[in-house]
Structure 1
Amino acid sequence: MYEFLRSRKSLFSAALAVAVVAALATAGGVASAHPRVTADGLRDLAALSPVIDCSSVTGLDLSRATDAPVTITSATLVTTGAAPYCEVRGTIAPANTIVLRLPTAGWTQRYVQTGCGGECGSSNINFGQAANCPPVVAGQVAVATTDMGHQGQNDGSWAANNPQAQIDFAYRGVHVTSQVAKAIIGRFYAHKPAFSYFTGCSDGGREALMEAQRYPGDFDGIAAGAPANNMVVQNTYHHAWNVLTNLDDNGNYILLAAKLPLIHSAVLAACDRLDGVQDGLLGDPRVCDFNPYTLVCKKAQDASTCLSPAEAGVVRRLHNGAVTDKGDRLEPAISHEWGSELDWSLFVPAAQGAHVGSENFVLAFARYLGFTNYVNANWQLKDLKLTAQGFWDTVQSSSYLSAMDPDLSTFRRTGGKLLLWHGWEDQHISPQGTLEYWDALQKTLGRNAVDSFAKLFLFPGVAHCGGGEGPNVFDVLTPVMAWTESGRAPAKIIASHSTGGTVDRTRPVFPYPAVARYDGSGSTDDAANFVSYTPRNPVRDDFNWLGSRLFSDGYQVKAKADGTQLVLKPATTWLTRKAG
């Protein structure tokens, strides 16, 4: 760990020295007070070219890059795009497939590693909401990703009796990929990256936070979107409740997807104006106190235009989240924010007998991965115990799979920058988990300390990692780069929405708890007509639930593979001690 931190400090010093020398050369021998910075706030770094041929990468000795054998299987020059690059593919033992793209001209000394979603299983580079970052668009960054130790098998069976694959998926795969990628970059350009970044959403957001928590020296800047940091609760109680609470005594669905537009329209009618603008979006859904029972059918009313009492009950329970039969919360309050109803088709089926996404998520996770050293291909949702004891029995695997440790003091101390973001209409991962992590960060490190290295952005009308009715296209990587390289903290992010390829709305999003407020003049579809406003009486989130103690330090353990068994050290985990 400390080697990585010393390496980062040395790297930063070297990069700073290069910038000072350059400034002296261009300013007639007069040193500039600050390194040259572009309009985007990025360091004006010299563009470098490779010192070896692309094909030579396959012969590199990478034995010192990480503690496992590395095999480079191919290195191919790709010239079909606007910016040519060397595509490198290989394996970090035992089974981490990696892919690396190295610009063959104009590399600006930046390395970007991208995360993946779901249970991963493929090494496809996907920038997501970082795709519009100018150095990325220009093909000036070296970039890599990994499948995190397994290939395909989205049903979760890859994890069965394969503890090393579980460890690689939990945290090791991303870390060793960063080590190997940086080693290859250093040999390819004879120059190490001046700055290294990670960006990911969903499980990629969990991977991002896991890096900041377990390996704070790997990356200088991190963008973590809609993080599945509370992975075990997310893929058990959260998604199982989506299905179970919508079944009647005969196992039939109560609420079907045809009613979702009706519910969404009613929510907007009740709450759209609360943020000062009637625009089909809820600026902060938490201030909406919608009552689904107002939609219950009146006498002789057409059933397609209203809800039955049972349907209204389902809507209320889907919003509130999973509970025990005693009323104890099994997940943070507000499982699905008001305003997200159009995307509830993830768990509300179109017809009886259909299988929904939420069911598939839980089965893939619980049968093979969710319970340590337990495999049961016949496990069903009804086997999940909706009790306090069942909860603690279930979340034991959080000790190595989840990323909720709020003690980022080492990441902060070494200059790391973190941009957390989430869409308010996320139908898959509740924004409440990100809000609770943010709250835990501030309680652990102090509000001023957190403000010095981390920002949270919440995007109205945006669904899981994008999509939704609101402005859902934005760049999260450039703000992280600017903050890291020039100290320019992100004051706002401009998001846009397009219809038919034409931008029809832009909107600023400000660091939480500030919100965008219309200034009273001009189009409400123009970001220029909104200002930052911090509510005098901010919403107080209710984090009183069974697992609230998970958002603290000390629960994470190291995992080791022993044959077909996963060994967690220490054996008596924080979770076990706290469960009673």
Structure 2
Amino acid sequence: MIRKRYPAWILAGSVLLTGCNSDDSSDDAAAYTPAQRCESLKDQALDETQLTSSTLETTGDNGVQACHVAGKINERTSPVDGQTYAIGFELWLPVDWNGRFYYQGGGGTDGAIQSVDPAMLADGWAVVVSDSGHSNDTNVSELAGTNEFGLDPQARLDYGYNGPAQATLKAKALTESFYDDAIDYSYFQGCSEGGREGLMFSQRYPTYFDGIVAGNPGMDLPKAAVAEAWDSQAFAEAATQTTEFGNPDLASAFSDDDLSTIGDAILDACDADDGLVDGMVFDPQACDFDPSALGPGGTGDLTAVQVTALQKVFGGARNSLDEPLYAGWFWDPGVAAQGWRIWKTGPLSPDIPGNSGLNVTLGGGSLPFVFTTPPNSMTNGTAITTGSQVEDANPLDQPGMSGYGGAFVQWILGFNMDTDAPKIYATDDTYTEAAMTFMGTSSTDYAGFRDHGSKLLVYTGQADPVFSSKYHLQWYNNLVSANGGLAATQSFARIFVVPGMNHCGGGPSTSQFDSLDALQQWVEKDRAPERITATAPEGTPWPGRTRPLCAYPQQAHYTGSGDIEDASNFECRTP
């Protein structure tokens, strides 16, 4: 149960209003009203910070009163592109506070202030959100679209780590000033880029938060972006059609029926490995699926070039020396879900002309402009296309269509794994921190985090098409080795794998679960999560099914009796 409390200044105002009748006392009391207190925050001096508004607002169906603060940190003009940048943030401070601070993580390449869940405010959380140092509304260009910030060295660093860190410090100071009280517990929660931000905090700023949820984290995101290029090139080789822009149509590499056939074949090969045939693969490391069984020498459902594409993609990105550049992927039936397709091959929407998969739109823009040094440098070219540079982020010339119309496809298909991939580690006189420095999040140095008593809960979708759960588990195994073994590591960090789940949700999976509550129980009551009950939503083959998500390396196993749709009939067991 979340404790609510009224700030000292509200209680003091109440005493003055009920206990005194003099005009002077009434004037003093008025200064303690929530609206007056909120308004006064604008006068608070914070280094390099401008508070642009501070007003008491009523939000949500429950009519929650909260002080809504908006501000900008380190507003400046870039010496590189001449644009104005700032770390934008918004902070919501409910009058009825529970003593807790919550940072809501971002997504994609950030650049926007996200909406805050009114339920969080109704439960009394002070909540901050940030754009991480650039704006998708103003920091744009014809050349780079919303990836323009990648041309400014400081905006790169703000996106990687400094923006969230500064927003946290300013928001915490404002929170304690508003309530005239210390924060009891601080939490961070995010998925995707937000998950990467959570790992970043746990590694760079280990004392900022008592608890962090990092969902499907974009760990070492530049490496994942290289893998997106690798995957796109593999699918391009299997494409049977071209787009109106003259590029291979990645979506034509595999039809929906093809992906369903692959998903079914994975189930046939591996579903029973965890002890129960239930349409889910809980032991992917035991899954010995070979896509060639579906090729010309097997069932004939796939062509030889399709089999080769699958082998290349699931084997992971490599250079010509056969050195791994990123992890491979688990064979999981979630490959048949739309949440997998919209990333890997597209289409995101059949109404968008050209390739619209997220690997060549969202990922296609971040790799040349944000993760490559120098940005948008000429690729050295692959066998698919010759080297090129991005010339126009919006060839469709339509509002909101940056990245579409084949804007980045030629560059991605020309990306060379030998000569272009190393540029994520490169620096020069202008860009003095490499992308893998400001975006890297695979450190295993957790001494500060552990000694602070903080807790990290990571979850990863086994069928995530953009951030490999294999990569996440490789990091966790390294974390265990570097921190005294499994038991010692689980005292501060645990990872949970969600079978069937795509990126931050979706897929044939039990993808609905309360990771924040599990984290709170761990932080505040020392109840470490051995298992988290998860539910399958509507749209899955078994809506309402529950399963335990088990702390890795344990996996869910059926006990042998009882309803297989009920998590209570499963135990967590080490395979």
Q: TM-score range by the shorter chain?
A: 0.7 to 0.9
Once residues 512 and 83 of structure 1 are traced to their aligned partners in structure 2, the CA distance between those partners, rounded to angstroms, is 41
Report what 1:255 is aligned to: 253
Check whether the contact 2:213–2:458 (CA below 8 A) recurs between aligned residues: yes
Report what 1:553 is aligned to: none
Q: SS where residue 404 of structure 1 aligns?
A: coil
Does residue 328 of structure 1 match 2:323?
yes
Q: SS where residue 529 of structure 2 aligns?
A: coil
Does residue 338 of structure 1 match 2:376?
no
Matches within 5 A, 1:32-111: 45=3, 47-49=5-7, 51=10, 52=32, 53-54=34-35, 56-60=37-41, 65=46, 67-82=47-62, 84-86=64-66, 87-94=68-75, 95-105=86-96, 107-111=97-101
Matches within 5 A, 1:140-289: 140-152=124-136, 155-235=145-225, 237-248=226-237, 252=248, 253=250, 255-258=253-256, 259-289=258-288
Taking a change above 3 Å as real, the CA distance of residues 62 and 213 of structure 1, as seen in their structure-2 partners, is: farther
Report what 1:525 is aligned to: 565
Equivalent of 2:112 in 122, 132, 141? 122
Gaps of 5+ in 1: 1-37, 39-43, 536-580
Once residues 347 and 354 of structure 1 are traced to their aligned partners in structure 2, the CA distance between those partners, rounded to angstroms, is 11
Does residue 314 of structure 1 match 2:309?
yes
Taking a change above 3 Å as real, the CA distance of residues 241 and 272 of structure 1, as seen in their structure-2 partners, is: same
Q: SS where residue 108 of structure 2 aligns?
A: coil
Taking a change above 3 Å as real, the CA distance of residues 56 and 164 of structure 1, as seen in their structure-2 partners, is: farther
Once residues 205 and 363 of structure 1 are traced to their aligned partners in structure 2, the CA distance between those partners, rounded to angstroms, is 20
Once residues 161 and 488 of structure 1 are traced to their aligned partners in structure 2, the CA distance between those partners, rounded to angstroms, is 46
Q: SS where residue 437 of structure 2 aligns?
A: helix
Q: SS where residue 187 of structure 1 aligns?
A: helix
Aligned length, in residue pairs? 478
AA at the equivalent of 2:459: W
Equivalent of 2:425 in 376, 383, 395? 395
Q: Which moved more, 1:507-516 or 1:135-144?
A: 135-144
Q: SS where residue 198 of structure 2 aligns?
A: helix
Q: SS where residue 73 of structure 1 aligns?
A: strand
Report the TM-score, using the length of structure 2 for normalisation.
0.77
Equivalent of 2:534 in 478, 495, 505? 495
Check whether the contact 1:226–1:465 (CA below 8 A) recurs between aligned residues: yes
Tell me the CA shift for residue 58 of structure 1: 4.1
Overall identity of the aligned pairs, in %:
29
Q: SS where residue 151 of structure 1 aligns?
A: coil
Report what 1:481 is aligned to: 520
AA at the equivalent of 1:308: T
Question: Whose relative contact order is higher, 1 or 2, with alpha carbons under 8 Å and at least 6 apart?
Answer: 1
Tell me the CA shift for residue 69 of structure 1: 2.0
Q: SS where residue 499 of structure 1 aligns?
A: coil
Q: Which moved more, 1:351-360 or 1:442-451?
A: 351-360
Equivalent of 2:553 in 492, 506, 513? 513
Q: SS where residue 359 of structure 1 aligns?
A: coil
Report what 1:356 is aligned to: 357
Matches within 5 A, 1:423-438: 423-438=461-476
Does residue 439 of structure 1 match 2:477?
yes
Check whether the contact 1:240–1:358 (CA below 8 A) recurs between aligned residues: yes
Report the TM-score, using the length of structure 1 for normalisation.
0.77
Once residues 444 and 517 of structure 1 are traced to their aligned partners in structure 2, the CA distance between those partners, rounded to angstroms, is 29
Q: SS where residue 247 of structure 1 aligns?
A: helix
AA at the equivalent of 1:289: D
Once residues 431 and 490 of structure 1 are traced to their aligned partners in structure 2, the CA distance between those partners, rounded to angstroms, is 20
Q: CA RMSD in A?
A: 2.7
Report what 2:17 is aligned to: none
Q: SS where residue 93 of structure 1 aligns?
A: strand
Tell me the CA shift for residue 163 of structure 1: 2.1
Once residues 197 and 261 of structure 1 are traced to their aligned partners in structure 2, the CA distance between those partners, rounded to angstroms, is 39
Taking a change above 3 Å as real, the CA distance of residues 138 and 61 of structure 1, as seen in their structure-2 partners, is: closer
Q: Which moved more, 1:398-407 or 1:77-86?
A: 77-86
Taking a change above 3 Å as real, the CA distance of residues 295 and 220 of structure 1, as seen in their structure-2 partners, is: same
Q: SS where residue 101 of structure 2 aligns?
A: strand
Check whether the contact 2:266–2:331 (CA below 8 A) recurs between aligned residues: no
